[in-house]
Structure 1
Amino acid sequence: MASAPTTITVTPLEEKVAVVEQKIHNSQYALKFVGAAISNMASSAFCNPTDIIKVRQQLRTHAPGARGSSFLSVGVEMARTEGILSLTGGISASMLRELVYSGIRMGTYEYFKDTLHDVSQGALTREGLTLKIAAASIAATIGSALANPADLVKVRMQAYYPNGNPYRNLPHAFASIYQDGAQKAITAGASPIYGGLRALYRGVEATTIRGIVLSATQICSYDQIKQSMKKRGIMKEGVPLHFVASTFAGFFCSVTSNPVDVVKVRLMNDKTHQYKGAFDCIRQIMVNEGPFGFFKGFGMCWARLGTHTILTFLIFERVRYLFGIEAM
């Protein structure tokens, strides 16, 4: 009995090439996440002293311009009363936060940018700000929400405690905040698990809003400035262009994010529940401290965020080059 003829299916070369290119493209997204995490963690480690001074300034509730509220005064006071190592406070929580938050918000920015461009079938152009802002907002929302517990722990570890910092290390801080929330939930007749998680996610609204505002101005302005300067032939791809674009981006995001940052820090460190929520916090700051209350710590915010932005993008672009990925 004759055997049935064997059918051989040959995949067209173009399809094979497309599959390989897609795999390479997907692996680049993973490398971009790694590069974003590395660059932001390195920048945060360098800028931690300015970050903790900024937090201390933002937690001070006295009138603007009062003595002892300048970033220099706060820094000198910390070094004198708590020791120079106090300027490294919360660095472990900061590293964890950057790994999750910045790894996602910056590392997935181009993924969402490509996806939205494809879904819109080109209606959202790569040259336009709409695509950039939408991609940055989505990435920042996810990163901010997931990283909120680490962000809250960082703020708590960096706050001032007259009787000494109650948190021995990062795990102890997480456990203490969770247990405190669980205990309060039990007292109120609620679920301890929900109470513990709620304690770690206090201020998540302000955190997410800040993440969106920061990313929409920092990442998008860097991307747009680079794109515009190259298109007009003002500068070519390279370190000088990365430095100029990141300098402008650092200033823009400092201005837009500082008010939200003040509200976020106040809410996260509000252990006595002075504020009913983000809007109540905004109201109290406006009534008690005036509009300039939202810009407390701006000098240190700019010093920290501006330096952080420049270092981050310079390192990020260099890591991309080492990974064999084209510049952002």
Structure 2
Amino acid sequence: MKKYIFKVFIILGVLQVNAQETKAEVFATVDQAVGNITFTDAGDLVYSHHPFFSPIKRVMFMDVKTKEVKPFPNEAWNTPRTTDDNYLSNVLGIRNDENGIVWMLDMGQRNPITPKIVGWNTKANQLERIYYLPNAVVPKTAQPNDMVVDTKHGYFIIADEGIGNGGDGSKAAFILVDMKTGKARRILEGTRTTLPENKPTIIKGKHLAVNGEDLLVGNDGITADVNFEWIYYGPLNGAKMYRIKTEDLLNESLNEEILDTKIETYSEKPNNGGLSIDKAGNLYLTVLETNSVAVVLAKDKSVHVIVENENMIWPDGVSYNHVDGYMYVSAAQVNKGAVFNDGKDQSIKPFYIFRFKPIVEGVSFR
């Protein structure tokens, strides 16, 4: 492990860490906003175009060496049609697993289709499986944002922000999908740890608001530790990071009152989007308001800014590339989208993908 020299000072209530050898470098620039990023076995990037900008191509592949891009898994899956629903409608959450499968969380919404999880086998270059999410677990205001692909317990664990179709975050929840049976359950809807707090997103003095109302986003960033023992999560708008043992979260015999008692308040946090983790248990979270990525240190739960860049505008997904050892971060400029700016898109090309070295080796396949 590399040695790091830290200088610490306070910025906006979060400790700033100036770590020698830790810096954000521009990996690539692209013409559309990048949401979340995952990787193939070879370390190539697969990423979602952020759905807030209604992209024509939903998911893209980028060669890690040449930076060449193309639709993923192919053109047909990025082409809506009325004859069938074997296409991607509205994707943000995207993860890989140790079997070379890229899992894409399709929220639907843009097209009249059933929300689903689509698995594409990158080794065989073919569809692995589709898991459909019925209305019972994806109500009108649902917005399934991100997920953990837990191959140890055999579940997809999805964070639902609760802001779909005008939702106010009050029905944010978890969605659990059994990989074997496809059975889906919705739990902890509108409870204390999935609800957003009244902690508005403020960027350079401007509130993130729709029609004059602060947008408060519920259950958002989510990750699991190296052994899938703990699930870490929290609302985007909220000052607390929570964790729960995976076996408790998945235990159908626990009613929600008992389940709530199993949840630990893990640490303080800023308003954040994406979430990742390293093998020492340090959490990495994208800090929307300060163009930065923070780390919650496992040793004492203190919160530090580890990298920042003026062009890291609305850092969204953060994920670890098991091949080159970097954490990758998208800068989606969501706050500059038309919905937050009186119908005028204020985003500026290019859109950036950054990367940096984590404190210790990151956790892959989450």
* Superposition TM-score tier, normalisation by shorter sequence: under 0.3
TM normalised by structure 1 equals 0.28
- The structure richer in strand per residue is 2
- The structure richer in helix per residue is 1
Which of the pair has more CA radius of gyration? Answer: 1
* Higher normalized contact order (CA 8 Å, seq sep 6+, divided by chain length): 1
TM normalised by structure 2 equals 0.26
